[in-house]
């Protein structure tokens, strides 16, 4: 089976712009979670989608949003980018609810200038 794929792999944006990141889960997986990874902070949970519904949300401002499509693919959007949004954004999928093992993608590295 193909693993979790994320596009694009690298992005450079300037402050104030918006960005959309995409995640394709492993075939058959219905749960997709998003994380922000920064040095020293580890992985910070952004949100989780299961069957097109947001099940959980982390402590991030409303500039961070997401959605999941009927084929379980997910997108994450960040509006009005700030310098502090520079990070590696990881997507993870699991068969069902996230109590199960998660399988991570390679991440999208976002640099905000």
Partner 1 sequence: AQSVSQHNHHVILSEAASLELGCNYSYGGTVNLFWYVQYPGQHLQLLLKYFSGDPLVKGIKGFEAEFIKSKFSFNLRKPSVQWSDTAEYFCAVIPTSGTYKYIFGTGTRLKVLA
Q: Which residues bind partner 1 (CB under 8 A)?
A: 3-4, 33, 35, 40-45, 48, 55-56, 58, 90, 92, 97-99, 101-107
| Residue number, 11 or 26, with CB nearest to partner 1 | 26
| Residue number, 81 or 108, with CB nearest to partner 1 | 108
Cβ at position 17, least distance to partner 1 in Å: 27
The beta strands (E) that lie in 1-113 are given as 5-7, 10-13, 19-24, 31-38, 42-50, 53-57, 64-68, 74-78, 87-94, 103-104, 108-112
Cβ at position 75, least distance to partner 1 in Å: 20
Cβ at position 98, least distance to partner 1 in Å: 6
| Residue number, 68 or 102, with CB nearest to partner 1 | 102
Cβ at position 30, least distance to partner 1 in Å: 14
Q: How far apart are CA 15 and CA 29, in angstroms?
A: 34
Cβ-Cβ contacts under 8 Å for 102 (sequence gap 6 or more): 33, 92, 93, 94
| Residue number, 79 or 103, with CB nearest to partner 1 | 103
Cβ-Cβ contacts under 8 Å for 107 (sequence gap 6 or more): 6, 9, 37, 88, 89, 90, 91
């Amino acid at each position: 089976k193909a693993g979790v794929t994320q596009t694009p792999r690298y992005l450079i944006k300037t402050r104030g712009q918006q960005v959309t990141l995409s995640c394709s889960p492993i075939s058959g997986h219905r749960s997709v979670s998003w994380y922000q990874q920064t040095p020293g902070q580890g992985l910070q949970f952004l949100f989780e989608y299961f069957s097109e519904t947001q099940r959980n949300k982390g402590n991030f401002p409303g500039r961070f949003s997401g959605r999941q499509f009927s084929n379980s693919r997910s997108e994450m959007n960040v509006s009005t980018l700030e310098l502090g949004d520079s990070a590696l954004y990881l997507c993870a999928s699991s068969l069902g609810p996230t109590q199960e093992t998660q399988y991570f993608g390679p991440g999208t590295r976002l640099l905000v200038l």
